[in-house]
Amino acid sequence: MSAIFVTGTGTDIGKTFVACGLIGELRRRGRAVAAFKPLASGFDPACPEAGDPGALLAALGEPVSLTTLDRIAPWRYEAALAPNMAAEAEGKRVDFDAVVAFSHQATHAADAVVIEGVGGAMSPVAARHTVLDWIVALNLPALLVTGTYLGAQSHALTAFAALRGRGITVAALVANETPDSAVGLDETVRSLARFASPVPVVSLPRLAPGAPHAAFAALADLFCCDAAHVR
Ligand SMILES: Nc1ncnc2c1ncn2[C@@H]1O[C@H](COP(=O)(O)OP(=O)(O)OP(=O)(O)O)[C@@H](O)[C@H]1O
Ligand SMILES: [Mg+2]
């Protein structure tokens, strides 16, 4: 089995972009891939292709339909808020145990499985549970996506410490280049690598969507049977 949970230092940091790039690379290698975004907020039913589930389906080469959306992203909320708040805005409540049960099933869906979380590593997903609790419940290795803006290193290392403090294996950090940042991508990677070692720090520049890149190849390598970090 090979499954990974994509988390990040916060919202809009590049989790979906990284997940899609990784899916593309795994598919180019002929792997059977499945991807999930169990909790999707900020979802516009009038434009489902535009949201995260739509992007993941496109990367998987699958159509966007009610059936495929229900299969990969069963909990969809319209408000662009943390899922518990977005659910509340619709008079609903996130059932954390149901999300964990669904995600656990999802890890068996293919020989390579990518699950995208929401927001950052400690974003609340339900009244009393955060993304950290979700990853712990699944016992999956995590990919931690961070930026290169000024201050990103502290955000990255704080999230890294929080993940490891809960016993979560961090398979890799991805330094995803922040546009127009005063801090360089290479310097950020070098600096983070000194703190994260032996966990690899993968360098991801700005790319056109769908473009292959060595960063995605490095992440796909984590899915090899002998990679210690992905089970
Ligand atoms: N390396 C990159 N090159 C080009 N565009 C990128 C890159 N990384 C992210 N983006 C773009 O930045 C935006 C935010 O990225 P993305 O949607 O992947 O973030 P996210 O962490 O998944 O956000 P959310 O918390 O909403 O799930 C998207 O438009 C995405 O296409
Ligand atoms: Mg996303």
Q: Quote the ligand 2 centre to 16 CA distance (angstroms).
A: 4
User: What does the pLDDT average to over 80-89?
Assistant: 97
40 lies in some domain: yes
Check: CB of residue 203 under 8 Å from CB of residue 218.
no
- Predicted TM-score (pTM) of the model is 0.97
Q: Give a yes or no: residue 43 inside a domain.
A: yes
**Residue 114 lies inside a defined structural domain of this protein:** yes
pLDDT in tens, 1-26: 499 999 999 999 999 999 999 999 99
Annotated catalytic residue, options 17, 21, 36, 37: 37
Q: What is the count of structural domains for the chain?
A: 1
Is residue 37 annotated as part of the catalytic site, yes or no?
yes
Look at residue 229 and tell me if it is in a domain.
Answer: no
The answer as to whether 226 is a domain residue is: no
Domain of 102 in residue numbering reads as 3-221
- 177 Cα: distance to centroid of ligand 2 (angstroms): 16
Give the nearest ligand 1 atom to 176 CA.
1
CA dihedral sign of residues 118, 20, 3, 161:
negative
The CATH number assigned to the domain holding 17 equals: 3.40.50.300
> For residue 33, what are the β-bridge partners?
112
**Domain-located, residue 230:** no
How far, in Å, is the centroid of ligand 1 from the Cα of 12? 5
Does residue 216 line the site of ligand 1, with CB under 6 A? Answer: no
pLDDT digits (tens, 9 = 90+) for 118-151: 999 999 999 999 999 999 999 999 999 999 999 9
